[in-house]
Amino acid sequence: MRVSAIWFVLTAAGALLLRSQLPLGWTYVVVACTGVVLFSAQVMVYAATSTLYRDSERAAGLGRVAGVGRTGAVFGPWLGGVLAASGHDSWGFTAFAMAGLLGAAAIACVPLAARASRGTAQPIGRPV
């Protein structure tokens, strides 16, 4: 989970970096690196889902996690459109960076929530 949180923070940094007026070549590099890091973070979240849910709950848990991600995939372009239409298009990268930081905070809290819901037990799949 810690690596996923770091990857989400790096995604936020990449989004903020895109606010600056970089040369076109560097913009492509930042976009590519930010995209790879974001996609990797999402895949790590999906992989971690299998260690946090019991076998009988795993499909529902993965569906819930995917649903949260799809909600962001719908809300993000809508928010970008609203900001652009209202003349605040420069806030778009800041808003997406804040979403990355929110993702980092949320994923960092998962181990705490897992421990709280199971007492002091470790997540499924880890030796006790």
**pLDDT tens digits, 54-100:** 888 889 989 998 998 889 889 999 999 999 999 998 899 999 999 99
Give the C-alpha separation, 82 to 92, whole Å: 9
128: number of Cβ within 10 Å: 5
At 119, is the pLDDT very low, low, confident or very high (cuts 50, 70, 90)?
low
Q: What is the DSSP string of 97-112?
A: HHHHHHHHHHHHHHHH
- CB distance 125 to 50 below 8 Å: yes
Q: What is the pLDDT at residue 97? A: 95
What phi and psi, each to the nearest 5 degrees, are found at residue 123?
Answer: -60, 155
The pLDDT of 31-51, averaged and rounded, is 91
Say which amino acid occupies 5: A
Alpha-carbon torsion (13, 36, 58, 62), positive or negative: positive
Compute CA 117 distance to the chain's CA centroid, rounded to the nearest angstrom: 22
The pLDDT of 40-60, averaged and rounded, is 88
Q: What is the pLDDT at residue 31? A: 96
pTM: 0.80
Say which amino acid occupies 3: V
